[in-house]
Chains A and B, each alone.
Chain A
Amino acid sequence: MTMLSIEKLNVWFGTGRDRVDAVKAASFDVGAGESFGLVGESGSGKSTILRAITGLAPTWSGRITVDGRAIERTRPRAFYKQVQMVFQDPYASLHPRHSVDAVLGETLQLHGFKDIDARVVRLLDDVGLGQKFRFRYPHQLSGGQRQRVAIARALAPEPQLLLLDEPTSALDVSVQAEILNLLADLRQEHGLTYLMVSHDLSVVGHMCDRLAVMKDGEIVEIMNVAALRAMQATHPYSQHLLQASV
């Protein structure tokens, strides 16, 4: 079964000489329960693909299908219970005047949960923060601690499809290991599907079944992880990327 299908997706910004074709005719499918990686050059359109799926890129064409339903211009509330995103920038994605407790509590309330207190406690434990961070504000947290709050918020509605934009690039390696193990457990327990952007090929190798390599708005290659491990890329850019990372 296919959880997410992207067909001939184009995303552009601006007009005239400032027009940017950020994503050009990108197509790929992600199966239910699969973990799919997006790697590639900085500025090649990886985040833009995730943003287009969640409705944060206003101008796009092509077809995006989630769980068999084509996405319309406006997305119903139910969509955001099914699909959640963890943003690349943990600094910009949390409201500066909302405590951790408020961020998680409001998200839970929005999605109609009743046992909010117990859930906040569990979410904080799940992402390895614990209760002593519950009433802190974003400026009282380190970069990695903020990212864990952002992950907890995305997990709160119990989504089926999680879009992860560099979820661990702000984290140190031990917390990264904790988060990656957590994400692996959640995927197994709840049959979650992941679409994950990372510039770290060993993270993608660890987490994903298949991956797409992007350059300058285009998907230049889709490969499976066995090929990645064996350094068997066919497109010159993917070969270059693999070579540079050893």
Chain B
Amino acid sequence: MDTLLDIENLWVKFPTRQGIFDAVRGVSFTLGRERLGIVGESGSGKSMTGRAILRLIRPPGMVEADHINLDGVDLLQKSEKAMREVRGERISMVMQDPKFSLNPVMTIGDQIIEAYRLHSTASKSEARTKALEMLEAVSIRNPERVMRAYPHEMSGGMGQRIMIAMMLIPNPEILIADEPTSALDVSVQRQVLDIMDKLVKERGMGLIFISHDLNLVADFCDRVLIMYAGRIVEVCDADKLHDAQHPYTRGLLNSLPRLDTPRDRLDVLTRDPAWSDTPSVSGRL
């Protein structure tokens, strides 16, 4: 499989009152034309890993790595201007906080049309038609109304779907989707996943799918990286996730509520300090 992205020894560091906090501690992985899942508990460094690839860590936070190669070229060596092109054209990211990423004082329609015209020579009316199509593709009811609406007038799940539609406009080589479907009901979620799936299968896009939904990742992705305290503790094929061996992964699986087996209390993780001391497992292929 061709390697689109190759990350070696990535660190993300934040200075805090208590000294330097390492949010990501030396992770390495590759991404091909595949659906790569990243799972792990809250605060384990999933979002920071995604943002670091695009060099979107705000100062005083710092990104360090041996390299972050996109098609063999190290993103860490690029100028900020060259990075902006990468962000706009080659790698898109759907942020975990959809409404924050939209402009609050501009209608949804104007935002999609503007984003679309930035990436094509389409006329305004062509862009409008395309925008409506995209909203329909993510199962938005009454897209005409939504085009005229502002972000705060959208429900949680509508905001997520609008962000996904926008991120797909530039036809990126890589999409980093951070909890892209966490607010969606199962049937709408299926439709959104189908769109991403098609892009991977038909256009050879690489997808990094960050999620805490283990069942979803097991079902949807090809490979999974399991993160704990800024490191990768286990890597497995997604369809083998339910047989994962690491006690942390087992603990995550056991804490899920299940419709068919009601329980009074859910199991919670008992964390073993050894988990965070063990060196990161490599996610390279």
The answer to whether A206 and B263 have CB atoms under 8 Å apart is yes
The answer to whether the Cβ of B14 comes within 8 Å of any Cβ in the partner chain is yes
* B187 and A41 within 8 A (CB): yes
A73 at the interface (CB under 8 A from B): no
Contacts of A229 in B (CB 8 A): 259-260, 262
CA distance A100 to B283 in the complex (A): 36
> Which residue in chain A gives the minimum CB-CB distance to B214?
A173
The CA of A140 and the CA of B57, in the complex, are separated in Å by 12
- Asked if A173 and B155 sit within 8 Å, CB to CB, the answer is no
The answer on a CB contact under 8 Å between B266 and A228 is no
Q: Does A47 contact B (CB under 8 A)?
A: yes
A43 and B39 CA atoms in complex are apart in Å by 27
Determine which residue in B18, B47, B260 has the highest number of CB atoms from chain A within 10 A of its CB, and name it.
B260
B279 within 8 A of A: no
Pairwise interchain contact A173-B256, C-beta atoms closer than 8 A:
yes
**Which residues of B230-272 have CB atoms within 8 Å of chain A's CB atoms?**
251-253, 255-260, 262-269
Chain A residues near B260 (CB, 8 Å)?
229
User: A78 near B: Cβ within 8 Å?
Assistant: no
How distant is A94 from chain B, measured CB to nearest CB, in Å? 11
Query: Do the beta carbons of A174 and B269 come within 8 Å of each other?
Result: yes
Q: Does A65 contact B (CB under 8 A)?
A: no
User: Any chain A CB within 8 A of the CB of B179?
Assistant: yes
Which residues of B sit under 8 angstroms from A89, Cβ to Cβ? 97, 99, 156
Q: Which of B69-77, B115-123, B145-153, B163-171 contacts A (4 or more CB under 8 A)?
A: B145-153
Contact B141 A166 (CB under 8 A): no
Cβ distance B194 to chain A, nearest Cβ, rounded Å: 13
Which chain A residues in 25-76 approach chain B with CB under 8 Å? 39-43, 47-48
Q: Is B20 an interface residue (CB 8 A)?
A: no
Q: Chain B at the A interface: mostly helix, strand, loop or mixed? A: loop
Knowing A177-B255, A181-B268, A201-B259 are in contact, say whether A170-B148 is a contact too (CB < 8 A): no
Given contacts A88-B183, A174-B268, A202-B258, contact A132 B18 (CB under 8 A): yes
Asked if A42 and B212 make an inter-chain contact with CB atoms under 8 angstroms apart, the answer reads no
Q: Is B161 an interface residue (CB 8 A)?
A: yes
Partner of B100 from A91, A177, A205, A228 at Cβ < 8 Å? A91
Residue A222 lies at the interface, judged by CB distance under 8 Å to chain B: no
Q: A41-B187, A43-B141, A229-B259 are in contact. Are A143 and B156 (CB under 8 A)?
A: no
The answer to whether B186 has its CB under 8 Å from any CB of chain A is: yes
Which of A13-21, A103-111, A115-123, A149-157 has 4 or more CB atoms under 8 Å from chain B? A13-21
User: Counting CB contacts under 8 A, is B277 at the interface?
Assistant: no
In the assembly, what is the distance between CA of A171 and CA of B40, in Å?
Answer: 10
Q: Is the CB of A184 within 8 A of B42?
A: no
A235 → B minimal CB distance (Å) = 14
- Beta-carbon nearest neighbor of A169 in chain B: B182
A-chain residues with CB within 8 Å of residue B182 when the two chains form the complex? 169-170
Is A159's beta carbon under 8 Å from chain B? no
**Does B158 lie at the interface of the complex (its beta carbon under 8 Å from any beta carbon of A)?**
yes
Q: Please pick, from A13, A145, A181, A199, the residue contacting B42 in the complex, using a CB distance under 8 A.
A: A145
Could you tell me which A residues sit within 8 Å of B by CB distance?
Answer: 13, 17-18, 20, 39-43, 47-48, 88-89, 91-92, 132, 135, 139-140, 142-145, 165-166, 169-178, 180-181, 184, 199, 201-203, 205-206, 216, 228-229, 240-241, 244-246
**4 smallest beta-carbon distances between A and B, as pairs:** A144-B42, A42-B157, A172-B212, A177-B266
15 pairs of residues in contact across A and B, judged by CB atoms under 8 Å: A18-B149, A20-B145, A42-B185, A43-B141, A135-B17, A166-B156, A166-B183, A172-B39, A172-B212, A173-B41, A173-B212, A199-B189, A202-B258, A203-B257, A244-B187
